[in-house]
Amino acid sequence: MFTRYVRRRVKKIAAFIVLLVLMDLIKSLILWQGSPRLIRQPQDLDVLEGGSGRLTCDVNSLLHTEISWSFRDEPIHQRRFESGNDGQLWLRAARVEDGGTYRCTADTLLARITADVQVRVIRRHRRIVIPEADADDMCETAERRHLPAKNIFFIESTGHKCLTARQACSVESAARANPDANVTVHMHTTLLTDQMFGWSESLSNKTRSCRITQRLGQFDRVQIRYEELVEHTRDTPLWILQSDNHYNDSNYPIHHRSDAVRAAILWKYGGIYLDLDCMVLRSLKCLHNTTGMNPHNDKKSWLENGVMSFDAKHPFMYYLMRYMAYKYNPEDYISIGPTALTDAFKFFCNLWYIDFTPSKVYQCINDTTMMLKRHDAFYPINQERKKKEKFYLPDADDADVALLKNSFLVHVYGAGSGRPVPEGSLYGLLAQEYCPTVYAMAIGEGKF
C-alpha cells in the first residue's frame, strides 16, 4: 500500500514538473514571438542638402508594436520629418544640421529593442537652373503631356555585378524625370574586357558600388536584370554574330555586344534605349521612332545610337540589324554602332547624297516614317575634346548651362573615364540636381 502511495506521489510530482517545464516553454515562446526583432539593420543614409531621404526600421513581432524615431536622443517633432506606422521616417528638405545619429525604438508589451543609424547631409554647391524650353517638340506641351509612358532600358555589358555611381546616376535621372515609366538595366553575367580600351580596366570593382546599385530599388519602377545579354539577339539577324563565334574575334566585345543587344531589344519589345552616361533632364514619353543627330568635325550627317526610341517590330530596326550583321568588323569598335546606324538610315530612306535635316518626318521604305532629332535634343555638348571639357571645368559657365535649354537629356562624354568631377562643374551640378540620391551616396563613399 505504501508502494502505491509513493508511486502516485511520484507521478503527481513528475506531472507537476512537466507542467512547469511546459509553462516555461510557453512563456519563452510568447516572449520570443512577442518580442520585436529587426528583420534587417537600418541602413546609414547620405542625402543631399535640400533633398529627401528615407530611414526604414523593419521589425517583426506577433504583438502590436509601436515604432518611434529619435534624433540625438530627443523625440522628433519637426514638420519636415514624416513617420509612418510601417517604421519609415522621411526626411524632407534636408539641412546640414539634420546630420547625426537617429535611433529607431520598437516597443511591445513584453520588450523593447533599439537600433541606431547615421545620417549625413552633403552640402550642395549651388542650384543649377536650366532655361525653360521653347522648342515645339518637347514632351511638356499640352497635347503631349498626357501620352502614356514608354519603357526605358539601359545595357551594362562589362559583366560587373554592380554599377558605377555615374551609371547609377543615369538610371536615377531617368526614373525621376519619367516616374510612370518602367526603367530596366540589363546587366551581362560574364566578365568581359575591351582589349583596346584602357578605360574598361579602369572601371574596376573598386569604382563600383553595390550599395548604390541596390539603393536604386527605392524607385518602384526600376529593375535590374542579370542575364546573358546576347540571348536577346536570338531569332534576329544579329544571332549570327553569336552562332558563328564572331564575338570571340572582337577587340571590343563590350561595345559590340551592347550595340547588338540594344537593337534587338528595341526591335522585339520597343521602348527607349539610353546609354549609361546620359543625364535625363525631362520627360521622354513623346519620343517616337527617332534617334539623334550629332554633327561634329567634318561629319554633318552623323547619327549616334546612344539614344534611340522605336516601336516594337519597326521595319527600320530589322533593316538595321541586317545591315549590322553585314558590316560587323571585329577591329572597329563602332562598326555596328553609329557608323552602321548612319549608313543604314541613308539606305533605308534613300538619303545617301543628301544631308540630314532635323525634325523632318522622312518617308522611307514601305511608307515607314522616321524623324531625326536636332543635335541639342540629346547631344548639346558633343564629343569634340574642347567641347566635352565643359562638363569638367571647376566652375560651370552659365553659357554652357544655356546650351541645355531644349535638351531632353545630355550625353555626358567622358563619364566612363573616371576623371574627377568638381562639385561646381557642369557635370557635378547636374548630378546634384537630377540624381541627388546617388550623388550624395557617392560623395559619402569618397567621390562621384
Q: Please write the tens of the pLDDT for every residue from 15-40.
A: 667 666 666 666 555 555 556 677 77
Q: How confident is the model at residue 286 (pLDDT cuts 50, 70, 90)?
A: very high
pTM: 0.86
- Give the range among 112-116, 290-294, 320-324 with minimum mean pLDDT: 112-116
The predicted pLDDT at position 325 comes to: 97
Closest CA to 331 of 257, 259, 253: 253
Mean pLDDT, residues 173-201 taken together: 84
For residue 266, is pLDDT > 70? yes
DSSP characters for 263-282? Answer: HHHHHHH-EEEE-TTEEE-S
Mean pLDDT, residues 315-342 taken together: 96
Q: How confident is the model at residue 441 (pLDDT cuts 50, 70, 90)?
A: very high
Place of cell 534576329: 236
* CATH placement of domain 152-445: 3.90.550
Query: What is the pLDDT of the chain when averaged over all its residues?
Result: 88
At 135, the amino acid letter reads A
Give me the percent of the chain exceeding a pLDDT of 90.
61
For residue 289, is pLDDT > 70? yes
Closest CA to 424 of 48, 50, 127: 127
The predicted pLDDT at position 310 comes to: 97
For residue 269, is pLDDT > 90? yes
Please give the distance of CA 61 from its chain centroid, rounded to a whole number. 34
Report the 3 state secondary structure along 347-394: HHCCCCCCCCCCCCEEECHHHCEEEEECHHHHCCCCCCHHHHHHHCCC
CA distance 68 to 55: 12
DSSP 8-class letter at 330: T
Q: Let me know: does 393 contact 430? Beta carbons within 8 Å.
A: no
Long-range contacts of 12-16 (CB under 8 A, 24+ apart): none
Q: Please write the tens of the pLDDT for every residue from 142-161.
A: 778 788 889 999 999 999 99
Mean pLDDT, residues 320-327 taken together: 97
* Residues with Cβ within 8 Å of residue 80, at least 6 apart in sequence: 91, 92, 93, 94, 98
More confident residue, 193 or 122: 122
The predicted pLDDT at position 388 comes to: 86
For residue 363, is pLDDT > 90? yes
Q: How confident is the model at residue 64 (pLDDT cuts 50, 70, 90)?
A: confident
What's phi and psi for 235, nearest 5 deg?
65, 30
More confident residue, 436 or 141: 436
The kind and range of the H/E element at 242 are: helix 239-243
Q: Let me know: does 274 contact 170? Beta carbons within 8 Å.
A: yes
Q: How confident is the model at residue 119 (pLDDT cuts 50, 70, 90)?
A: very high
Highest mean pLDDT among 49-53, 67-71, 165-169: 165-169
Give me the percent of the chain exceeding a pLDDT of 70.
89
Q: How confident is the model at residue 74 (pLDDT cuts 50, 70, 90)?
A: confident
Is the CATH number 3.60.21.10 carried by domain 38-122? no
The predicted pLDDT at position 447 comes to: 86
- For residue 204, the tally of other CB atoms under 10 A from its CB is 11
Q: Let me know: does 428 contact 125? Beta carbons within 8 Å.
A: yes
At 417, the amino acid letter reads S
Q: How confident is the model at residue 392 (pLDDT cuts 50, 70, 90)?
A: very high
Q: Please write the tens of the pLDDT for every residue from 165-182.
A: 999 999 999 999 999 999
Q: Let me know: does 300 contact 355? Beta carbons within 8 Å.
A: yes
Mean pLDDT, residues 182-209 taken together: 74
For residue 85, is pLDDT > 80? no
Sequence ranges of the domains in the chain: 38-122, 152-445
